[in-house]
A and B are shown apart, each in its own frame.
Chain A
């Protein structure tokens, strides 16, 4: 089978699930599409290394999750740099005192910010647990770690957020 057909087969069979997974991790459709393409290209390059009978689906999930983690890490570095610039700009011109009042749902925004501020692996594990409602074994398969490590990540995240998750 030629290159295009192999990539097309992976997309046909696993595309929808991977796209849903990536979209939930990065919360941005364009980024999710880039990461999906990235995942398939990487998978295609490594396809010969995947032994017969191996779990293709779990393997693709792992590649996709790593791509998303790398993206989030990079994004966080960029955000820090931006915040740094914003801070410098603010101290130069003074704070914005225009005052349009408070956000409509301050608490939700605050919680979202705290989730966004969690270490990546905790944030991903928490997202998979709460938004995707996955079992720890499934979270582990998608993150390429053990179920215990997945549970520990979710536990640490919830402890930080003091959020009740069943």
Chain B
């Protein structure tokens, strides 16, 4: 992006933030969001604060996503932004199958230490491989907490980026998925973790 375009974007964002402050009393740091409405697994909503990407999830539509962000972050202005171009670019590359790994700043600070640990362990499972809930729980420091690990994965705020879809039940069945099981199947097949004939 050119310097001029960046300067313009900053000026325009300042105007929107000023209006937010005046009209809604929301003073805290802004949350920027973007919508990817044409992915193989449906509509994705992305949001990021100063510390990085804090949400990637399956959404019904833009309005529903924005309403959820506004309710969840009651003190922060929310605005659509092109500042998430990098995350969008990496996700598009992923969906095209060109590059299945991500290199993005992710903000997991809202999670409990155990949940965060589970997601950090999960983030190290490479594309094309899978692990079980029990294995992830053990690596996170508590071999008997596979149910708690499942709960932590269910709360994963950054779907696909932290690949919670790569975690399955010990019997090899898919388990659950926030974006629905067809999406989980699609992602695993896309990464080559399961052969089409097995499903």
A interface vs B, CB < 8 Å? Answer: 1, 4-5, 7-9, 11-13, 15-16, 19-20, 22-23, 29, 32-33, 36-37, 40-41
Nearest CB in chain B: distance from A44 CB, A: 9
Contact B15 A11 (CB under 8 A): no
* B173 within 8 Å of A (CB atoms): no
How many contacts between A and B, using CB within 8 angstroms? Answer: 78
CA distance A13 to B66 in the complex (A): 8
Contact A36 B69 (CB under 8 A): no
Nearest CB in chain A: distance from B14 CB, A: 7
Q: Which residues of A contact B15 (CB under 8 A)?
A: 19, 22-23, 29, 32-33, 36
Contact B70 A8 (CB under 8 A): yes
Closest-by-CB residue of A relative to B25 is A4
Q: Which residues of A contact B23 (CB under 8 A)?
A: 4, 7-8, 11, 37, 40-41
Contact A9 B8 (CB under 8 A): no
* Total residues of chain B contacting the partner, CB 8 A: 28
Partner of B78, one of A8, A23, A37, A40: A8
* B92 within 8 Å of A (CB atoms): no
Partner of A12, one of B11, B13, B22, B80: B80
Give chain A's interface secondary structure class.
Answer: helix
Closest-by-CB residue of B relative to A21 is B12
Nearest CB in chain B: distance from A40 CB, A: 6
CA distance A23 to B13 in the complex (A): 11
Contact B26 A9 (CB under 8 A): no
Partner of B24, one of A7, A22, A32: A7
CA distance A32 to B66 in the complex (A): 24
Tell whether A5 pairs with B71 under 8 Å between CB atoms, given A19-B15, A23-B15, A29-B14: yes
Contact A16 B80 (CB under 8 A): yes
Partner of A9, one of B11, B12, B22, B70: B70
CA distance A7 to B25 in the complex (A): 11
List the 3 closest pairs (A to B, CB-CB), nearest first. Answer: A15-B16, A19-B15, A12-B78
Partner of B79, one of A1, A15, A23: A15
Nearest CB in chain B: distance from A24 CB, A: 10
